[in-house]
Amino acid sequence: MKEGMMSYCRHSLLTGWKAGLVMILCSFLSVFVDAAELASGSGKAQVLENVHIEEARIRLPLPGQSTAVVYLTLLNLSSQELVIKGVKVEGAQFAELHQHLHRDGMMQMRAVPQVDVSAGGALEFKPGGYHIMAFRMQPGAAEDATYQVSLMLTSGLTLTAQATVIR
Ligand SMILES: [Cu+2]
C-alpha cells in the first residue's frame, strides 16, 4: 500500500504549486500509513513477526516483601539481533534486567544494562540465569491475575507478554 503511494508520488509530473500540493499530500499520507502500519502490527513491526515470548511467568513478592521476579523465553527467529535495553512490569514501580553469576563459589546477581539475543537465537530468563526483577510491586495482587511485561529494544520497539503467576 505504501509502495503504491510512493510510486504515485514519484510518477506525478505536476509542476508549480500543484506539485507542491501533491508532495505535501504524499508526505502526509506516508506518515499516516506509517502510523496505520504500526497500529495494525505490520510495516515496521514486521521485523518482530518472528520474535516470540514464551512461558512468561512471575513470582510475586513473599509476604512482607515487594520484589517480584519474572522469567520468560525469548525466541528470536528473525534475521536481526535484538538488544533489550529496558524492561517494565505491570504493578511494579520499576524493573531491571538481572544476571546471576557464580563468583568465588558464591551466587551473586547484578543488574545488566542490556541483553542481546542473536538472530536465530533464543534466550531463557530463568532461575540462576538472566531474570527480570520487579521492584515495589503494588500489594494485594490476585494469584490468578496476569501481569504485562514489556521489553524495550534499542530499535525503539517494545515486545510485550502476559506473565502468569507462579509459586
Ligand atoms: Cu535479581
pLDDT digits (tens, 9 = 90+) for 49-99: 789 999 999 999 998 999 999 999 999 999 999 999 999 999 999 999 999
Q: 101 or 31, which is more confident?
A: 101
**Total number of domains constituting the chain:** 2
Same domain, 15 and 54: no
Helix, strand or coil, per DSSP, at residue 71: strand
Per-residue confidence (pLDDT) for residue 29, from 0 to 100: 37
Domain span including residue 11: 2-40
Stated as kind and residue range, the H or E segment containing 9 is helix 2-11
State in Å: Cα 127 to ligand 1 middle: 9
Answer whether residue 45 is part of any domain. Answer: no
| Distance (Å) from CA 93 to ligand 1 centroid | 15
Contact 122, 76 (CB under 8 A): yes
- Statement: the pTM of the whole predicted model exceeds 0.85: no
| pLDDT tier, 26 (very low <50, low <70, confident <90, very high otherwise) | very low
Instruction: Measure 88 CA to ligand 1 centroid, in angstroms.
Output: 14
Q: Assess whether 76 and 24 both reside in one domain.
A: no
130 within domain boundaries = yes
What's the CA gap between 95 and 84, in Å, rounded?
13
- Domain assignment present for residue 9? The answer is yes
134 and 157 inside one domain: yes
CA pair distance 18, 41, nearest whole angstrom: 34
Distance of CA 136 to the CA centre of its chain: 21
What residues form DSSP beta bridges with 98? 111, 131
